[in-house]
Homo-oligomer: A and B are copies of this chain.
Amino acid sequence: MVKKDIKQANELMVGKSRFSEWYSQILLAADIIDKRYSVKGGNVWLNYGYGVMLNIKKYWDELFHAEGIKEMYFPLLVPISYCEKNEKWWKGFKNQAFWVRGGAEKEEYILRPTGEPAMYPMFKTWIRTFGDLPLKIYETVSSFRYETKQTRPLIRDREITVWHEIHTAHSTQEEAEKEALNHKKMYDKIWEKCALSPLVVRKPLFECFPGAIGSFEYYNLMPNGKVMENGSINNLGQAYAKKFGIKFKNNTGKEDFAWMICTGNGARLLAAVISVHGDDNGLILPPEIAPIQVVIIPIFNKKNKNKIFKKVDSIKKELEKLGIRVQTDLRDESAGKKFYDWEIKGVPLRIEIGPRDMVKKSVMLVRRDNKVKKIMKETQLKQIVKILDNVQKNLLENSNKELRSSITKVDNLKKLETVLKKNKMGKVFWCGSESCWDKIKAIEEGVELFGTDLKSVKGKCVVCGKDSEEFGYVANTY
């Protein structure tokens, strides 16, 4: 439907080596989003792209529900009085606010940039005693930031769509920290569904979310050598509880402030899927999140059309019985054109059925990820479940290999610069000081020691040479 409307746009003009242009064109060509809507940083999700995103969302819904994290929904309008409760947070988001007034009233609200000021006044209402804890909730919602930096669809939008936030409150610090690790476990599973191997790092205190006392963040290596932040798990300590008055009576009747965790991510997951897996011919979707896992294309002429269409339909039904999401393409277009269209859309597996296949009672399979062709007997169609599984695993392995091969260990700033010039990532020891952090940042606009490894290893700081117990990763960042 929309595929046709944008005929003028569904050709890929440049290869992936020109990543930024490639990314921009593929969003429309593959029916992911249409950015021709007249609001900067606001996009229309097209049906196909929204389908991929909702498949990712469906998975996080399942995971969160299974962990007893309850789904809720909070209003998008946040009273300014709520925002002002935490001046540190407000300082960080005020300049990026969308200001709202109702009718002829004065401006009283902003559109939610993050969940804290909307949720925590309610937490204060709901939490009275230790029996009310833990309180574990999440919502999937849009967030709004008036970005002054260049916007990029799904990467830096002004309306950040299909965004989830988990917020939990606990009676002890230990329980909160355990919860954060649990969020990490859930996120690892989401990454697996996306067939992506991200880098998970710790942020030093001075780089954390406003008010947080620690955080895990995920980063993806993008094809241009830059890294993109993709989700964070923030330990808020008691800072927000103190600002919002979220108190509870413990079992001895003493009052204490709640320990809180907030965790969020959204459409950047899809941005990473597109960027990491795609190639010159278009998207390559991991089967687990692909709206269409198998496309069946008949090779036919007027004479054999009916017969072949019938076969196509029966094979479709057989695959559907196996739980596979299948589509047939019966358009009056050349087979070549159809191959081209479905390659752009990244359907993991193509099945071709022509007159010769009919005779041999076989079909031709073509994998999107490695382009390998294979003839399969009709009696063996059950194997397709396993093939899709292999596509998923192969994509994950590729992502992991690419990430690992990009990381180069270096022990001085000169070498680090050389590595960065090659669009690679540097792995360095760091003493933990903000001044050494800043010196790395000074190498070039955009370069950053974006986080430290979760493991602790002894070495010498790449900047000052002092003893160091941490190592971290340096790259150009988004």
Contact = CB atoms under 8 A, between A and B. Distances in A.
Interface of A: 1-2, 4-6, 34, 36-39, 42-47, 50-51, 54, 70-79, 81-82, 95-103, 105, 109, 111, 118, 121-122, 125-128, 131-132, 135-137, 142, 146, 148, 158-159, 161-162
A75 B146 contact: no
A159 B77 contact: yes
A73 B102 CA distance: 24
Q: Is the interface of A mostly helix, strand, loop or mixed?
A: mixed
Given A100-B98, A101-B98, A122-B44, A74 B132 contact: no
Nearest to A70: B47
A1 B70 contact: yes
A101 B103 contact: no
Given A111-B100, A121-B38, A72 B44 contact: yes
B96 A73 contact: no
Contacts of A127: 5
A441 to B, nearest CB: 26
A203 to B, nearest CB: 26
A71 B51 contact: yes
Nearest to A8: B128
10 contacts: A1-B70, A34-B125, A36-B125, A44-B73, A44-B122, A50-B72, A77-B98, A98-B100, A98-B103, A99-B101
Contacts of A105: 146
A76 B5 contact: no
Nearest to A125: B36
B111 A103 contact: no
A75 B39 contact: yes
Contacts of A122: 34, 36-37, 44
Contacts of A100: 98-100, 111
A141 to B, nearest CB: 9
A5 B124 CA distance: 10
Contacts of A36: 122, 125
Given A5-B127, A46-B72, 18 more contacts: A1-B132, A1-B136, A4-B131, A6-B126, A37-B118, A37-B121, A38-B81, A38-B121, A39-B78, A39-B79, A44-B122, A45-B72, A45-B73, A45-B74, A51-B71, A54-B71, A76-B142, A76-B159
